[in-house]
Structure 1
Amino acid sequence: MTFNDNARVGGNTARRRGAGVAVAGGGVAGLGALAVLLFSLFTGTDVSGIVGPLTGGGGSGQESEVANCQTGADANARDDCRLAAASLNLDQYWSENIQGYRQPQLIIVDQQTSTACGTASNATGPFYCPPEETVYVDPTFFAILREQFDATAGPLAQLYVLAHEYGHHVQNIGGIMEQHPDNGTGPDSNGVRTELQADCLAGAWIAHAGDQVDENGTPFLQKPTPDQVRDAINAAQAVGDDHIQKESGAPVNPESWTHGSSEQRERWFETGFQNGYQACDTFSVSGSQL
């Protein structure tokens, strides 16, 4: 998904926090780390105790603005600015559709930083921390997937990841997380239903992501192309629990699922994309329809 070059995105409230290293670069020792990356990237599972920080140690609580992130052209050029700019678009969309919406904080992580939900780093992947109402994303994941593993991790796939985490924020402030607390793993668990709903909410936003405008009335984003939507759908498929288990060489075990299968994640993303956020009630359907 492409930002309009002249869109004004400097009003975003995203902050950088961590060791202050450059976003691009980093490395992973060996192709065996691919399954670890895929698992941690979209599950928020901290594997640093097993593999260590994937681009080196360090981290701090220092914060700064996302530098040189003023226009859509900046957002098109850099992952960190793209995420920061999209936060404006997401906040505008949800404030127009959810009564009482309040924006979360978006933290762009450099290497690692402490949070109320544990350490945020490139060994935990993007996640939402409910007590803080904060989304944490380390963009080095996208660079690693592109450079080391020949994955596209294209712009719309990146924004799908961010929109998924914002979906969790909508669930949190709407009381959904409180109404449907975690009850363990499995294909019919509340955890899977929560994650599939976040996929659906992400799809709903992407369908309308070209509608939000900056202070001058310029749309932030161009309408997604069919190829870009397919890229986001492929990203949803790639992070299905069954696919991740296969990639790691483990047997497919639905009872251990926390996010849903590739087919489910694709289907619920498309449900939101085609029918809007009102169609995203994953908690009222039976397990066979999930």
Structure 2
Amino acid sequence: MQFDDDASLDTSQVEDRRSGGRFGGRPRGKMVGGGLAGLIVLVIGLIFGISPDQLGLSSDPRGQAPGTTSGSDLAAGCRTGADANARQECRMVAVINNVQAYWASEFRKRGMTYEPAPTVFFDQPIRTGCGVADPASGPFYCPVDRKVYLDLDFFSTLSSRFGAEGGPFAESYVVAHEYGHHVQDLVGTLGKAQDRLTGPSSNSVRVELQADCYAGVWAHNATRTLDEDTGSPMISALDEEDIRRGLDAAAAVGDDAIQSRVQGRVTPESWTHGSSAQRQQWFTTGLDSGDPGHCDTFGR
């Protein structure tokens, strides 16, 4: 996965609320976590999409955590595609820019208006519109405040705990999946998952598989989506190895794969996100078609 060195990055689409990081910032408060057991329980429920309130993490609806930092350091360090090729947080900014540029263009084609959603980088417990989450929550989209929440260290967990190979495109797939939920929120399909039912054919699984399909649609169009300043594609290259690693990540976070790894048995009746095969199938459907109209997981 390669970015155009001259592409311009828009860090205004990211709220950097990390307590510290590569670009500076002092720790603010004590990290709260449940250790490995807590991590596994939360990741099973929250990985790639469900907001904290759906597991009862918190009923606190108050807005943002106090004492958070601005994104000034991120803006100073992430200016161009060359920065995205060199540093993870800048790569995430570039992917967020590209994903949102694609969906804005797609919505315009359909006579609709795309409302951008920021991504929040965090590494400590944080209040969101959906309750209080900590980094063990995994990446998620909160429909209450319409923001994506992402702890960059999650990608190490994806490899070390769940066996994914990882890599830049695997990380990008995660981001694109979360923005798939934002698209669902904008068009009104996200609410279909609120019945809390589980199982391979549940609405919860269908919502997650559609977000995987939307991630594939974005990947199909990623190198065709232009940087507004340069008029050239921000992402200059995706190759077969990138796609393979994206599919590997999709398989690693299938409900059956997680259950087998964590509890030693598979219980389909409790699935909320779909099996490895389902997740790969729908990502591939989006990737091959490049058309969100092919992502009707509810009609099949």
TM (norm. structure 2) is 0.81
SS in 1 for 2:122: strand
CA RMSD in angstroms, aligned pairs only? 2.8
CA distance in 2, matches of 1:73, 1:162: 20
Equivalent of 2:243 in 217, 229, 240 = 229
**Superposed counterparts of 1:278-289, under 5 Å:** 278-285=293-300
The answer on whether the counterparts of 2:3 and 2:237 sit within 8 Å (CA) in structure 1 is no
SS in 2 for 1:19: coil
Deviation at 1:129, TM superposition (A): 0.3
User: Who is 1:114 aligned against?
Assistant: 127
Equivalent of 1:259 in 273, 276, 281 = 273
Equivalent of 2:252 in 233, 238, 243 = 238
Deviation at 1:155, TM superposition (A): 0.5
Q: 1:81-103: CA deviations, max 9, x gaps?
A: 21112121111111111221111
Which residues of structure 2 form unaligned runs of 5+?
25-30, 56-64
The answer on whether the counterparts of 1:2 and 1:155 sit within 8 Å (CA) in structure 2 is no
One-letter amino acid of the counterpart of residue 170, structure 1 = V
User: Who is 2:211 aligned against?
Assistant: 198
**Superposed counterparts of 1:115-130, under 5 Å:** 115-130=128-143
CA distance in 1, matches of 2:294, 2:188: 17
Deviation at 1:44, TM superposition (A): 4.7
Deviation at 1:31, TM superposition (A): 8.1
The answer on whether the counterparts of 2:10 and 2:97 sit within 8 Å (CA) in structure 1 is no
SS in 1 for 2:198: coil
**Superposed counterparts of 1:90-101, under 5 Å:** 90-98=99-107, 99-101=112-114
The answer on whether the counterparts of 1:199 and 1:268 sit within 8 Å (CA) in structure 2 is yes
**Identical aligned pairs, as a percentage?**
43
The answer to whether residue 288 in structure 2 is matched with residue 274 in structure 1 is: yes
Q: Which has the higher helix share?
A: 2
| Alpha-carbon spacing, 1:11–1:142, altered in 2? closer, same or farther (3 Å) | closer
SS in 2 for 1:284: coil
The answer on whether the counterparts of 1:37 and 1:123 sit within 8 Å (CA) in structure 2 is yes
User: Who is 1:177 aligned against?
Assistant: 190
254-263 or 172-181: bigger deviation? 172-181
CA distance in 2, matches of 1:252, 1:45: 23
User: Who is 2:83 aligned against?
Assistant: 74
111-120 or 101-110: bigger deviation? 111-120
Deviation at 1:242, TM superposition (A): 0.3
CA distance in 1, matches of 2:146, 2:132: 15
CA distance in 2, matches of 1:241, 1:149: 11
32-41 or 79-88: bigger deviation? 32-41
CA distance in 2, matches of 1:72, 1:36: 37
One-letter amino acid of the counterpart of residue 222, structure 1 = S
4-13 or 214-223: bigger deviation? 4-13
CA distance in 2, matches of 1:140, 1:120: 15
Which residues of structure 1 form unaligned runs of 5+?
50-58, 286-290
CA distance in 1, matches of 2:190, 2:281: 22
SS in 2 for 1:222: strand
Number of aligned residue pairs:
272
SS in 2 for 1:281: coil
The answer on whether the counterparts of 1:44 and 1:125 sit within 8 Å (CA) in structure 2 is no
